[in-house]
């Protein structure tokens, strides 16, 4: 069985033809999303991208959107694409492509892709986090994505964790992603070092023994651990899988994160399972197609 997966991002649309037995992406394309031209143009472009990769019999189309999506396949809003408020993306794509279409939030789909084909295969219940410019979260409970009452469960990056904290892209203040994302590491690093640096540079400097960079990392990783601890104290799931740019730092991120999280949870457990995601850049395409598994 094959399905088309469409990964809608702030600047680009990636589409792929996916083998649903193996998760392999058989054909792929990436085009600019031209988000400034509004949702109708973006959806026309998504349909074009899907047609470019279409081949053979297809069970359906899946769309991953960079924002919360309700049970009718309506994108409620997105922080990164202008004019996307209450856009019925699944029905609109079904009409354009004349194929059954499902849609969900991109982090939910990445969680599902890791469950079907990646690092989360051994687990029935887990958190998936993507930590990069922001923090996305997908929750799989008993082998199903938990989408919540309205469909927007997992807006975990916007849990308030700092009282009177920094303003977030969502309009609120002190959200988790304002202190624990790649963007937050870059900003804290730039302030500490007095010159513009990104999260990758901070990891590199810390690896070279730079004490200021190490301090910035320690604080950010501590905030990641605090958030994970809150999640686990509520849900007690089997594992946490982490993808996104920050996870590519490898042991420099995961080893202190496990230590700090275990430190906070030590009176309850003597082990925490926090693993890097296995699927790479194509996780969005694979997850969207896997809506049909």
Q: Which residues bind Zn ion (CB under 5 A)?
A: 158, 168, 170, 172, 175
Interatomic CA distance for residues 117 and 1, integer angstroms: 15
To the nearest whole angstrom, how small is the minimum distance from the Cβ of residue 222 to Zn ion? 19
Q: Going by DSSP bridges, is the β-strand pair 2-8/61-65 parallel, antiparallel, or unpaired? A: parallel
Which is closer to Zn ion, CB of 64 or CB of 157? 157
| Nearest-approach distance from CB 216 to Zn ion, in angstroms | 21
Q: Which is nearer to Zn ion, 134 or 284 (CB)?
A: 134
DSSP state of 86: E
Q: How many CB atoms lie within 10 A of CB 281?
A: 11
DSSP 11: S
In the structure encoding, which two tokens stand for residue 225, read together?
């651990």
Cβ closer to Zn ion: 168 or 286? 168
Contacts of residue 85, defined as CB under 8 A and 6 or more positions apart, other chains included, come to 76, 77
* Minimum distance, C-beta of residue 146 to Zn ion, in the bound complex (Å): 20
CB of 133 to Zn ion, least distance (A): 12
- Cβ closer to Zn ion: 155 or 212? 155
3-class DSSP assignment, residue 56: coil
Cβ proximity to Zn ion: between 147 and 158 the closer is 158
For the bound state, the minimum distance from the C-beta of residue 248 to Zn ion, rounded and expressed in Å, comes to: 23
Eight-state DSSP code of residue 292: G
Cα–Cα distance between 198 and 45 in angstroms, integer?
Answer: 32
């Amino acid at each position: 069985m094959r399905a088309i997966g469409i990964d809608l991002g702030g600047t680009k649309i990636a589409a792929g033809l996916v083998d649903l037995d193996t998760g392999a992406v058989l054909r792929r394309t990436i085009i600019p999303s031209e988000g400034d031209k509004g949702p109708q143009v973006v959806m026309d472009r998504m349909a074009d991208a899907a047609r470019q990769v279409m081949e053979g019999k297809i069970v359906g189309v899946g769309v991953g959107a960079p924002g919360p999506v309700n049970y009718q396949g309506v994108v409620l809003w997105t922080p990164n694409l202008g004019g996307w408020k209450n856009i019925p993306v699944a029905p609109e794509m079904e009409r354009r492509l004349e194929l059954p279409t499902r849609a969900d939030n991109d982090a939910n789909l990445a969680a599902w892709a890791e469950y079907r084909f990646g690092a989360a295969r051994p687990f029935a219940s887990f958190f998936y986090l993507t930590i990069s410019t922001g923090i996305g979260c997908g929750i799989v409970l008993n082998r199903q994505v938990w989408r919540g009452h309205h469909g927007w469960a997992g807006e975990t990056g916007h849990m308030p964790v700092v009282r009177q904290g920094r303003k977030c892209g969502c309009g609120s203040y002190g959200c988790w992603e304002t202190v624990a994302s790649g963007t937050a590491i870059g900003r804290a690093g730039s302030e500490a070092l007095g010159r513009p640096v990104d999260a990758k540079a901070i990891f590199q400097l810390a690896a070279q023994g730079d004490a200021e960079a190490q301090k910035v990392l320690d604080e950010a990783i501590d905030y990641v651990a605090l958030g994970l601890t809150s999640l686990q104290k509520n849900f007690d799931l089997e594992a946490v899988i982490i993808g996104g740019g920050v996870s590519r730092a490898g042991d420099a991120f995961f080893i202190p994160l496990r230590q700090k999280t275990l430190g906070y949870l030590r009176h309850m457990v003597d082990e925490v399972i926090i693993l890097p995601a296995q699927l790479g850049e194509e996780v969005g395409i694979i997850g969207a197609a896997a809506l049909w598994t």
